[in-house]
Amino acid sequence: MKPPFVVATGIECSAPVIAGGLRRDELRLTSHWDRVEEDLDLVVALGITHLRYGIPFHVVAADAAELDWAWTDRAMAAIRERPIEPIVDLVHFGVPDDLTGFGDPRLPDRFVTYATAFTDRYPWVRWYTPVNEPLITALLSAKRGWWNERATDDRSFVRALDNVATCAVEGMRILRERRTDAVFLQSEACEAFAPLDASDPTHVAHAAHLNALRFIAFDLSYGRPVDARSAGWLDTNGLGRDRLDWFESNGSDAGAIVGLDYYPGNERLVDGERETPAPEPRGFAAVAREYHERYGLPIWLAETNTTDDRAIAWFTELWNDTVRLYDDGVPVEGFCWYSLTDQVDWDTALREPNDRANPLGLVDLDRRRRRLAEPYEAVARAVLRDATPSPI
């Protein structure tokens, strides 16, 4: 028997520090910080049962010696009072102010203290994302130079990747010790790359590297062996055989769901250096199959969105792709439109503090329903009734 299918949304909670030392905290920028109960009531009104919910690590663990749970206590109590299953993101693109970024060697110990305390404080929480998008976190913070440490070299990138994957492994270990039924929606970008010119060896090699790299965070977190080429690249940049052995010994996929975050532009053509959106993408179903074939685990479409003018068409395409996978026997167990509300400054990936509202949510920042809300509520309520998804 197939497990029940889940329709979810999320509260956007990214909190990186950008150039100038400015933190862009989406919990505050979208005003969820002050509208917790109102937003949770909107989730319930939409017939949505599961909610991706980020805890502000940078706030809770701002003082390493004394964790601050004041806001989180309020939010978690409000969730518990409602028929909502939280999927708790413990880290979502931000670290406490005293850490230099995701490559800071103090991060894993700080995270372990925080994750342990969270789990002991809220033992009723079952679903977790220990670290949201580990690969993307490391890439945008320590290779592309956008966030946090804003580094632009491979060694910094690999150092950050080592840290975030360590946090994912340790987070799952801590949670499994306390809840044998814990569920881990480990989310990551669902991507695919092809050479711009299939006759150019440089383009082919770059695409092959990126197609291997897209699996690295899952491989490390789940204790899977890394392919020889990627292992060599990691070793060259500071993550050697000893660290790979540690991940293989300590990583685990017990209780894991492969969370696939698929957005417009996630399929790209590459030359020797640049990436451009594929003009004819294969679609979510085709790319998701590659992840399922690699890991053999249940999957979710764990994040997607696009602007309001395209949202219904994009949702319909991805929902029907998801249903097709489900009907073909692929263990796809959930779908998440991310996020409940519009977001702020994601049109520049938070790099510019423009305070510009991005129309990506089920509701706008005044909490008025967008056009997608009606069809999304319809599928959520149909799944509640039938326990399975149907095409639209």
Q: So what's the pLDDT on residue 273?
A: 84
Query: 84, 100, 235, 258: which is closest to 168 by C-alpha?
Result: 258
Alpha-carbon dihedral of residues 356, 357, 359, 363, nearest 10 degrees?
A: 180
| Distance of alpha carbon 378 from alpha carbon 10, whole angstroms | 18
Q: So what's the pLDDT on residue 3?
A: 76
The per-residue pLDDT for range 228-266, each reduced to its tens digit, is 999 999 999 999 999 999 999 999 999 999 999 999 999
Q: Is residue 1 part of a domain?
A: no
What is the pLDDT averaged over residues 73-84? 98
Q: What angle do CA 84, 88, 91 make, to 5 degrees?
A: 155
Q: Provide the pLDDT confidence category of residue 5 given band limits of 50, 70 and 90.
A: very high
Q: Is residue 194 part of a domain?
A: yes
DSSP letter for 179, please. -
Query: Which token pair is 96?
Result: 């406490």
Does the pLDDT at position 343 exceed 80? Answer: yes
What is the pLDDT averaged over residues 116-126? 98
Q: Tell me how far CA of residue 101 lies from CA of 148, 157, 178, in angstroms.
A: 5, 11, 29
pTM tops 0.75: yes
The per-residue pLDDT for range 8-48, each reduced to its tens digit, is 999 999 999 999 999 999 999 999 999 999 999 999 999 99
What one-letter code names the amino acid at 115? A
Q: Is residue 84 part of a domain?
A: yes
Q: So what's the pLDDT on residue 4?
A: 84
Q: Is residue 204 part of a domain?
A: yes
Q: Judge whether 287 and 266 are in contact, CB under 8 Å.
A: yes
Q: Provide the pLDDT confidence category of residue 272 given band limits of 50, 70 and 90.
A: confident
Does the pLDDT at position 1 exceed 90? Answer: no
Q: So what's the pLDDT on residue 224?
A: 98
Q: So what's the pLDDT on residue 15?
A: 98
| Distance of alpha carbon 221 from alpha carbon 184, whole angstroms | 11
In 179-305, where does DSSP find H-type helix? 201-213, 216-222, 228-236, 241-250, 284-295
382: helix, strand or coil: helix
Q: Is residue 244 part of a domain?
A: yes
Q: Tell me how far CA of residue 265 lies from CA of 84, 106, 258, 277, 367, in angstroms.
A: 31, 34, 20, 5, 28
Q: Is residue 391 part of a domain?
A: no
Does the pLDDT at position 209 exceed 80? Answer: yes
Render the burial of 342-354: b for 16+ CB within 10 Å, e for the rest: bbbbbeeebbebe
The per-residue pLDDT for range 355-379, each reduced to its tens digit, is 999 999 999 999 999 999 999 999 9
Instruction: Lowest mean pLDDT of 77-81, 146-150, 273-277, 323-327, name the range.
Output: 273-277
The per-residue pLDDT for range 150-175, each reduced to its tens digit, is 999 999 999 999 999 999 999 999 99
Q: Which residue has the tokens 């890394």?
A: 226
Task: Write phi, then psi, for 304 (nearest 5 degrees).
Answer: -165, 160
Q: Is residue 392 part of a domain?
A: no
Number of domains, the chain:
1
Exposed (0-12), middle (13-18) or buried (19+): which is 94, by Cβ within 10 Å?
buried
Q: So what's the pLDDT on residue 53?
A: 98
Q: Judge whether 8 and 48 are in contact, CB under 8 Å.
A: yes
| DSSP assignment string, 69-94 | -HHHHHHHHHHHTTT-EEEEES-SS-
| Distance of alpha carbon 387 from alpha carbon 364, whole angstroms | 29
| DSSP assignment string, 36-59 | HHHHHHHHHHTT--EEEEE--HHH
CATH of the domain at 350: 3.20.20.80
- Containing structural domain, residue 102: 6-386
Q: Is residue 265 part of a domain?
A: yes
What is the pLDDT averaged over residues 167-185? 98
What sign has the CA pseudo-torsion 142, 263, 325, 42?
Answer: positive
| Distance of alpha carbon 266 from alpha carbon 139, whole angstroms | 15
Q: So what's the pLDDT on residue 253?
A: 98
